[in-house]
Amino acid sequence: MALLKQRDEIKILQDKWPSLKNMLRSDYHLIGQEMGDYKVPFIYAANGRPYLEQYKEKSGIWFWDARNPKENAYALEEFHKPEDLALKLTAKNKDEANKDLADDEDYPQFAARPYQLDAIQSLENAIKDGKKRILLAMATGTGKTRTAISLMYRLLKHKRARRILYLVDRNSLGRQTANAIKDNKIGTMSISSIYGLKELSDKVPDASTKIQIATVQGMIKRLFFNDDNSEKPSVGQYDFIIVDEAHRGYAEDRGLSDQEYENYDQEEYVSQYRRVVDYFDATAIGMTATPALQTTEIFGNPVYSYSYQQAVLDGYLVDHDAPVIIQTKLAKEGIHFKKGTEVDVFNQDEKTIDKEKLPDNMNFDVKDFNHRVITPSFNKVVCDELVRNYLDPTDRDAGKTLIFAATDEHADIVVDLLKKAFKDDGRPVDDDAIEKITGSIRHPNQEIRNFKNEDYPNIVVTVDLLTTGVDVPAITNIVFLRRVQSRILYEQMLGRATRLCPEIHKDKFRIFDAVGIYDAMNKVTNMKPVVQNPGHNVNYFLHHKEDYFEIAEDSHQYQVDMAGAVERKIKRLDDQGRNKFERLAEIQSVDEWAGKLSKISKADFMKQWPKFEQLYQVHPAKKQFISNER
């Protein structure tokens, strides 16, 4: 506490002290008894410099809760309000609350998967250890929001938290989170009815509000660009902040719409985002599926990680095959314009086409297609190939398709080409079977709901709107017509298709790559397929037992591969097939059995061989259609 010893730099907040002392007077004598020689529970030190991260030891307003001598002082941007300190005095003792949390083994059922319990326990241990910045890494589709709601419930239940701010980066995610807090219940009561919830439109929480949802952008305006101080939160308004999609705002390519990108300053966004987190006297918990370097610089390394591969092996996500590469002559050779050539130029602002003579040679490769250069022939070849060999929007059991385009105009082109391709193939589709969903359409949120809940649209083309936080389990096809530079954004795009969908017996999803993104990202991505070769199914491993499991010195990877193949097989089974296998194998739950296969010892794995043979004998139900036409 060297800073506290420098008395010439210590400044008591004298203008607020009289009102604060009156508020504390009733508790003053008791505090003095509990603390021995201390008579003031809260101590400040400041030298007049605004807080700067680069000079964090020599700037800001340093605050020490002297009631907890083992806790270190830390810097704040502003002084607490008197009511903030009064709340601190009436709050439950942290040590007692931490003990209550540790002793409570009753977790809400809506987040009771084993890895979710492990995640909550890891977060609570980090809180107990006094960490002010905490990071949770869980694969897309594994229930980060439910895990966060369970944590919030437990923190509020044991009075370890007084009020929690839940930060999102988009209104759609805020509404989605609010609905989850309203829908998930303890007994017959929702979390929102137990603790109170303020949503995006509510700028100031009530005294009784325990959970508030806000966007990063909205909070930036309230804190740093607000002339009305009555709406500005105090530094002590929240004691916990949960930051959803904590990687957002840091990636080079955030998937913004064209209009947003024109008015976007990456450095400013990052600095303001961090200021929101640093402003409050609160423990900040970041949640992400894809930690970035900047994420760990703010929140530290993850206290708990749950990977995509492990989630597939545990049966909570679906695997994917290596991509279907759609290679066109144009993509392979690129586009080359010679100096002096007269070309058509599309003016995006005016939406007009002009002619220009090129002053220099210009060369474009596939990463520039539909972004720097419009390529109708390339798009037509790709759309024709998809329609001819892979997509059928009338087959509900085949799942849905999400296509990533380069720009809003490109998305329009792709929608039109797909509809024409189906018509030319003799299979015309309803107009609403294929749609564009971007920020430019009239009711994007309603169309997202239709994509999730209705038969149509079945094929959706997007640019940025569906890259993160949107849950449509029936997506079985991801199509890349757009290159991105960010590993994080790429993994978020893949994450749109990883969720389970038992209604259509989804056992995997497919990737269609027309722009070479898979190879470009393969060296850095964490979302590689578990089953390296789709042909290596359960039957294949049964016939290669000696090669892979009896002779090989290290058979663990083969064990993992076979566990992945087993997961794919059981996801294709209907209820009758699953029940039949459970009877034959004499197991209680096929999901629980399959989820353990990658983790057990080799000896125990080999003991399962009779069950593998029984699983091979159980086949998914086959449908045949009967025509009575003459």
Q: Evaluate whether residue 302 is within a structural domain.
A: yes
Q: Do 178 and 111 reside in the same domain of the chain?
A: yes
Backbone angles phi, psi at 342, to 5 degrees: -90, 120
User: Has residue 282 been placed in a domain?
Assistant: yes
Residue 36: the pLDDT is: 52
Residue 570 in any domain: the answer is yes
Q: How far apart are CA 239 and CA 223, in angstroms?
A: 16
Q: Which domain holds residue 61?
A: 2-81
> Residue 253 in contact with residue 485, Cβ under 8 Å?
yes
Q: Are residues 451 and 499 in the same domain?
A: yes
Question: CA-CA distance, 300 to 490, in Å (whole number)?
Answer: 23
Whether 353 maps to a domain, the answer reads no
Whether residue 120 is contained in a domain is answered as yes
Number of independent structural domains in the chain: 4
Going by C-alpha positions, the residue among 481, 295, 457 that lies closest to residue 382 is 481
- Say if 74 falls within a structural domain: yes
> Do the beta carbons of residue 422 and residue 429 sit within 8 Å?
yes
Domain check: are 563 and 480 in the same one?
no
336 CB contacts (<8 Å, ≥6 apart)?
361, 362, 363, 364
User: Are residues 551 and 463 part of one domain?
Assistant: no
Indicate whether 143 and 259 sit together in one domain: yes
DSSP track, 469-488: S---TTEEEEEE-S--S-HH
CATH code at position 404: 3.40.50.300
302 with 326, same domain: the answer is no
Average pLDDT, consecutive stretches of 10 residues, N- to C-terminus, the chain (630 residues):
41 41 41 55 88 77 86 88 88 90 94 96 96 94 94 95 90 86 92 89 80 90 80 90 76 39 45 79 92 83 95 94 77 46 47 47 48 68 93 94 90 94 95 92 88 95 76 94 81 91 94 87 85 83 83 80 91 90 91 92 91 88 55
Q: Give CA 206 to chain center in angstroms.
A: 29
Q: Are residues 289 and 164 in the same domain?
A: yes
> How is residue 427 written in tokens?
């299979």
Q: Is there a domain that residue 149 lies in?
A: yes
Question: Which pLDDT score, from 0 to 100, does residue 93 have?
Answer: 87
**Strands 164-168 and 211-215: what pairing?**
parallel
Domain end call among 495, 521, 547:
521
pLDDT confidence of residue 101: 93
Contact 239, 283 (CB under 8 A): yes
Distances 135 to 48, 164, 168, 242, 299 between C-alpha atoms, Å: 32, 16, 15, 10, 5
- Asked if 20 and 165 sit in the same domain, the reply is no
> What pLDDT shows up at residue 526?
81
Say if 203 falls within a structural domain.
yes
